Amino acid sequence: MPDFFTEGATGDLATLSPEDSHHALRVLRLRPGDHIRVSVQGQRYEARLEAKGNLAAARLLKPLGSSEARTRITLYQGWPKGDKLDLVVRQAVELGVFAIVPCVFSRCVSRPEPGKRMDRLNKIAREAAMQSGRTIIPRVEAPIGYEKLKGRLARHEQALLAYELAGGQSLRAAYRGALDLGLVIGPEGGFTPQEVEGLPAQAVSLGPRILRTQTAGIAAIAMLLALNDDFQ
Ligand code: SAH
C-alpha cells in the first residue's frame, strides 16, 4: 500500500499536495477508491483515495500504529565529499533515524556551501520517508561546527562517537539503552585526537574493519536499533 504525508486534515479528509497528487494519480496510477496510507501530523491512517481534477485527497478510515523506532537517533554526520550525503540521508531515513545534522570537522575534505543543497537533502529525506512508510519526516538540519556540536551532544540522553582508534570500547558495551541518542560520525579524513577528546561523547569502535564515512553511520544506526530490538 503506498504511503503519503499530508500537512493536516479537515474532518476525515486530508488533501495531498499537488506534487504528491501527481505522484499518486499519474506516476503510481492509483484510482479513486484505492487504499493508501497517510501520515497526518505524526499519526498514520489507512485511507481511501479520492480525486478532484488533478488533486488527490485521502479519506481517513482508521488509525494505524506508528512505524517509528523507540530509539530516537540523531546522526551527526561529518560533511563528506561530493554527493555522498544524499545516500547517507536516504538510507538513514529508511532505517529509522530521527534527524540528521551535517557537521564540519577540521579534516573535512570539502565544506558545505550555503544554497540549494539543504532543500535537496530534505527532499530526499521526504521521499525516503514516504517510500519506507515512516510516520514522521526526519529533518536534515543546516550544517554546524564543532562548538555548536558540543552543545547539541550535551543535551542528548547519551552521545556516542564512532572512532576507529577507540581501543576495545565496543558500541554494544557502551550503549546503555538510551532512547534519545546522539551519534557522531567523522568525515573521510576522520577526527583529530583533539576533537575526540573535546566532544562530550563516548568514543566507540564499530569493529575491526575501517568503514567509509558513508557506511559507518548506516552500520551504527542498524547496530543500535538491533541492540534495542527496534526491528521487531
Ligand atoms: N581515520 C581514517 C578513516 C576515517 S573513516 C582515515 O584517516 O582515513 C570515517 C569515519 O567513519 C570515522 O571518523 C569514524 O567515525 C567512522 N568509522 C569507520 N570505521 C570505523 C570503525 N571501525 N570503528 C569506529 N568508527 C569507524
- Model confidence pLDDT, tens digit, residues 34-77: 999 999 998 999 999 999 999 999 999 999 999 999 999 999 99
Sheet bearing 180-185, strands edge to edge:
139-140, 99-103, 72-78, 180-185, 158-162, 202-204
**Amino acid (1-letter code) at residue 8:** G
* pLDDT, mean of residues 77-90: 96
At the second CATH level, the architecture of 72-227 is: 3-Layer(aba) Sandwich (3.40)
Give kind and range of the element (H or E) at residue 197: helix 193-198
Which CATH code fits 3-64?
2.40.240.20
**Mean per-residue pLDDT for 162-187?**
94
Q: How far apart are CA 151 and CA 136, in angstroms?
A: 25
Question: Phi and psi dihedrals of 206, rounded to 5?
Answer: -105, 20
Cell (9 digits) for 145: 561546527
How far apart are the C-alpha atoms of 128 and 152, rounded to whole Å?
Answer: 25
Most ligand 1 atoms within 8 A of CB, residue of 75, 88, 109, 164 to mutate: 164
CA distance 124 to 42: 19
Q: Check whether 217 has a pLDDT greater than 90.
A: yes
CA 211 to ligand 1 center in whole angstroms: 6
Say if residue 197's pLDDT is above 90.
yes
Is residue 8 pLDDT above 90, yes or no? no
Question: How many whole angstroms separate alpha carbon 33 and alpha carbon 24?
Answer: 12
Q: Tell me, using a 6 A CB cutoff, whether residue 211 lines ligand 1.
A: yes
Instruction: Say whether 72-227 and 3-64 share the same fold.
Output: no
Check residue 161 and give its pLDDT. Answer: 98
Say how many CA atoms lie within 13 Å of 198 toward its Cβ.
Answer: 12
> Running DSSP on this structure, what letter comes out for residue 24?
I
**Domain residue ranges of the chain, discontinuous segments joined by +:** 3-64, 72-227
> What sign for the dihedral angle of Cα 172, 173, 176, 178?
negative
Looking at the CA of residue 191, tell me the nearest atom of ligand 1: 13
163 lines ligand 1 (CB under 6 A): yes
Residue with the smallest CA separation from ligand 1 atom 4 is 190
